[in-house]
Every structure is written in structure tokens, then in C-alpha cells.
Amino acid sequence: MVNPVPPRDRTDQPWRSEGAPPPQPPKRKMPGGWRGLILTALIVYLVANLVLSLFNRGDEPTISYTEFSKQVAAGNVTKIYSKGDAIQGELKNKQALPNGDKADYTKFTTQRPAFADDDLWAQLTKQNVTVTAEPVVRERSFLANLLISLAPMLLLVVLWVFIARRMSSGMGGAGGMLGRKTPPKPVELEGGRRTTFADVAGIDEVEGELNDVVDFLKNPRAYREMGAKMPRGVLLAGPPGTGKTLLARAVAGEAGVPFFSASASGFIEMIVGVGASRVRELFAEARKVAPAIIFIDEIDTIGRVRGGGSGMGGHDEREQTLNQILTEMDGFTGSEGVIVLAATNRADVLDPALTRPGRFDRIVHVNPPDRGGREAILRIHTREIPLAKDVDLEHVARTTPGMTGAELANLANEAALLAVKREQKAVTRSDLSDALEKVQLGAERPLVMPADERRRTAYHESGHALLGMLQPGADPVRKITIVPRGRALGVTLSTPDSDKYAYTEDYLRGRIIGALGGMAAEQVVFGVVTTGAESDLEQVTNIARGMAGRWGMSALVGRLTAIPGDAQQAYGLSAAPATLDTVDAEMRRIVDECYEKAVRLLGEHRDQLDALAAALLENETLEEAEAYRAAGITRAERQD
């Protein structure tokens, strides 16, 4: 199983890293400095001593020697302790203080005058007063007083450090927005295994081009001795899900160098200049551990052609970020040993300054895999999935043309989920087939259709399937169902036996005839058409528009491209109005001719249409062999 991408170490850090050595921990600075801490601690110490001195006075009052003599004469003294002229004592019964204070006391202290000439010892003996050898009033030791006095200061220091750490960690998010630089921590991958080319399949030709980068990172001295320079950047261009990010990680894993990955949108903030600061920080971290690889995903987010009027005077955040990337890749900042990989599915909108030699001067096209590649990808993604003996991954690869690596991984995962729900020990062929239907056709809907609408849907799907069976060179019909899936009330699945990379006019006309088969069947059987052909007409329109306006399959339009391939652009700017009118007329001609042929073929083969619809109403779903058998057509006859 391929290792997941490591998480970011800070919320403000737009990149992830793997394989980088541990950075030196940054020195923490106390808010306000140590001078302020010492001054505050001294103030707290003095205040604490003042408070403790008040508390140390205790509850034992100091009474006059005269009052002490009276208490001895009255027999109210139980014991005393004397050290020099100082006397500590304890009364038998509480007494009020003689100065009028309402407080009572039991323990006391007093001072015997040096000039006193009385018979104190005789009175003490007469009243049975115990003269102890230990102080009556216990006082705390110096060490205890010191610890108590230092406690507030220690508490202040602990609180100060806690607040300082919280502020330092909090500034990682708030301060980071202003460009605060904190080195990213390396993230240990699960199991310690990095992604390599063994985890990549189906795009061997791309691996061959990227092997140059791997070899350069492993043996840079040989290239320098020969005077060869590796491209500063490699742009991976291709549809979504074809494995561009996985390829970049595999290059770093094969070369054994640190890998920094970021999404281009993660550099952009509302505050102008933050993106450029983050780019500088990213390249600085990569240079510290060079040789290294920086991967920027979806670079078209910030790398679009400049000067389009989207910014304010050409100095908006997106353009500043792009300018900083260009500067870092230009070689003037000493980024030797750092190779930048980037991915996009819109290479046509990138700024020319980004793709010129010296920056992204090598463009690698990553296309969907062929049949052998799909089989290899399926084997990788089912390495940890137990498969039943009836599973044929080669057959699955043959029935999934055009699917990307991400879609195949999702297919394997959906099959595993179905096996768990069905309480099975292994994934079966049925699980993979049902998962493929769910991915391609959508999930089943618990919709109960009226009998007449169900019959109309059966004829609609039978029209699609029968015309696909009758058309020479058309894609084989794999499955027909009238079980509602997604937005459709029924689905006919047709896929080619092998991958196709170029299409003839006859094949495209066959596609249009097959797509119009549902509407034609409704016209032949019921004499009316319904809204169920909406998605079919969308497909027909796209094919006809391409034939007339893009692929030169119209004699009136000529061998030219009147409509751009980018559907997001207004194609009125690429051709004259008269040419566009001609394209529209040719589109209608092509579709009308195909519809007339569809109606004629279904009328000529009405018996087969009825038989196929009856079988579909009875079984709801027909597999490939069952569908051809119900229509009375063999694959050999169809392929003549």
C-alpha cells in the first residue's frame, strides 16, 4: 500500500516534507527578556517577605512582666521556657489581653527586666510550673522560611515560562501569516518506507524520462565533470488522477533525497507578500538539505499568464508569488542541487516565463494508462486485498479503458468495501463488477417505476444496445440494466476491446447512432419521444461539434479548427460568424443523417428489439453474453 502524504507541521506552513534531517530547534526568547523577569521576581520576593513577616507574628502576644507575675501568683501558668531574659509560657486558662483587646491568648512571650529582684523561681516551684528545655512557641527554621518566601517567585517563573511557550506556539499560526520563519520538522513515514518506482505502474515511458533526474541526484559529480546541467524544473502535465504527485514522490524516494511538497494555492493569502515570503522560506529549507526535490501541485493556480487584468497594477499576491518562484528557479539565489517538480492539468495556460529554458524546461506528459498499465496498477492496489480465485485482473483492465490510476485505486477500494458489507473473506469477481458499475454508472436508486414507464425505459435501453450490436466497429455492449442508477432510469454500458487513440469518421457516426438509439426506439415503438434522452443528446452534440468544427470531417467547413478545444472559452472569437453558422448547419446534418439511420435500422430489426426489451423487462439486468443471446446476435457476426 502506498504511503500517505505526510501532514503539514504548522497550519501556516504550505508544504509537507519527508526524508529531511531533523532541523536545529529554534531558540526561544522570553517575552520582555530576562531583565524584566529578574526585576519582577525581585519585586515579588520583597512583597512575599513583607507578607510572611506579618504572618510570622503568630497568635502568641507579648505581655508585660507584671502581667506575667500576676498569672504566676494566680497559679494560671502551666509551663514556661526561658532563654536568657526572654520567657515563653503557656497558661492553663485563656486570658484577655490587658490592653483592652478582646482577643484571648494562651501562649505568650515576655521579657524579664535585668533589675528585677524577685523570688520568681520560688513562686514557680510553689505553683508547680514546669520549666521546659524546649521552646513553648515553635518557630519555623530558616530553611522553611526561605522555601516559603521563594515559593511565590518559583510560581511566577513557572507561570512566565508557560505563557512564553503558549505565545511562541500561538505565533506559529498568527505570526506565520506575516512570514514568521520556523523550520519544518521532518515527518517519519509509517513503517519508514518511502515511495519508489515499485509503487508506480502504467506509465513506464514517464519513468524513463524521470530516471534522468534520479540518476543526476544520485551521481551529480559525473554530470558536473561532463559539464552537463540538469533541468531546473520538470513539469508533469496530464489529466487529474494520472499519478503526477505519486511520480514526484517516487523520484525523491528512488534518489533518497528530501522531498518537499506543496499546493500552489497554499502560498496565497489576503496579505500581499505572504506568498513570496513562503516561497523564499521553502527554497531556503530545501537548500539547507540539498540535494532535494520541491514539488508544487496545481501550479496553474499561481502560474497563469500574467497581465490578464486580474490583479491591481500587476502587483497582486498571485503575481508576486509567481515572480518569487521565477527568481528562485533562475539560479541567482544559489539553488544548486534543488530540482523543482510541478504538476498541472492546464499546461496551456501557464506563463511563458515559467516554461522557458532554465526554469521548467522539461515537460513530461502523464497520460492515462493503457491496458497493460491498468492491469499493473490494479495489481499494486490489490496487493493487500485478498482476491478470490475467480478474479481476473486482466479482464477488469480490458473493461476499464480510459480510467486513470486514481480511478482504478477507487475501484479496488469500492470492491473491498462491498466484500466487507457482504461478510466475505475475499473480493470476488462479482464484487469488482458491481464496484465498476457503481463507479461508472452510479449507485442504484430504490425507485419504483410505473409499468408503462418501465416498459418505455426497457425499449430505450434496448435501442442503445441493439444499434451498438448492429454497427460495424462499434464498442461491444457489456451490460444493459433498467435499474435506476444516479440520474439515469437505465444504463447501457459499452466499452472497446482495446484502447483507442484515434477515431475514424465512421466510428464517430456509429457512436452518434448508438447514442440516438434510445430516442429512435421510443419513436419506432411509441411514436413519441421523452426527456429521457437528455444526456444522450449532450453526448451527440459534443461529438457532432467536434466532427464539424474541430476535426475537419465536414467538406463545407473545410480542414480547419473553427472551435477551440477548451470549452471554457467563447469559440466565437476563433472563427468568422459565417463559419460558425456553417459548423452549426453541418452539426445538424450529421445528427439528422444518423438519426434517420437509427430509426431505419430499428424498424428493420423490430423483432430483435422486442426480444431484447422483453428479456430486459424479465431480468432487469443483462450481462454481455445474455444481451447478445436475447438479441439473437453473435459477436462474430457483429465484427464482420
Alpha-carbon distances of 632 from 470, 477, 569, 613, 626, rounded to whole Å:
11, 14, 47, 12, 10
Choice among 254, 461, 522, 586 that is catalytic: 461
Could you tell me if residue 194 is left (phi over 0), alpha (psi between -120 and 50 degrees) or otherwise beta? beta
**Strand, helix or coil at 640?**
coil
461 is an active site residue: yes
* Residues whose CB is less than 8 angstroms from the CB of residue 635 and which lie 6 or more positions away in sequence, other chains included: 476, 628
For residues 563 and 570, give the distance between their C-alpha atoms in angstroms, rounded to a whole number.
9
First to last CA, the chain: 44
Q: Which residue type, as a one-letter code, is found at position 69?
A: S
Q: Which one, of 354, 353, 351, 355, lies nearest residue 306 by Cα?
A: 351
| Count of beta carbons in the 10 Å neighbourhood of residue 178 | 13
For residues 425 and 428, give the distance between their C-alpha atoms in angstroms, rounded to a whole number.
9
Could you tell me if residue 473 is left (phi over 0), alpha (psi between -120 and 50 degrees) or otherwise beta? left
* CB-based contact 524:599 (threshold 8 Å): yes
**Strand, helix or coil at 185?**
coil
* CB-based contact 530:522 (threshold 8 Å): yes
Q: What strand order describes the sheet that includes 360-365?
A: 15-18, 259-263, 292-297, 338-344, 233-237, 360-365
Q: Is 246 exposed, middle or buried (0-12, 13-18, 19+ CB in 10 A)?
A: buried
Segment holding 616, helix H or strand E: helix 606-619
Q: Which residue type, as a one-letter code, is found at position 579?
A: T
* CB-based contact 212:229 (threshold 8 Å): no
For residues 559 and 215, give the distance between their C-alpha atoms in angstroms, rounded to a whole number.
45
Segment holding 594, helix H or strand E: helix 577-604
Radius of gyration of the chain from its Cα atoms, rounded to whole angstroms:
44
Q: Which active-site residues does the annotation give?
A: 461
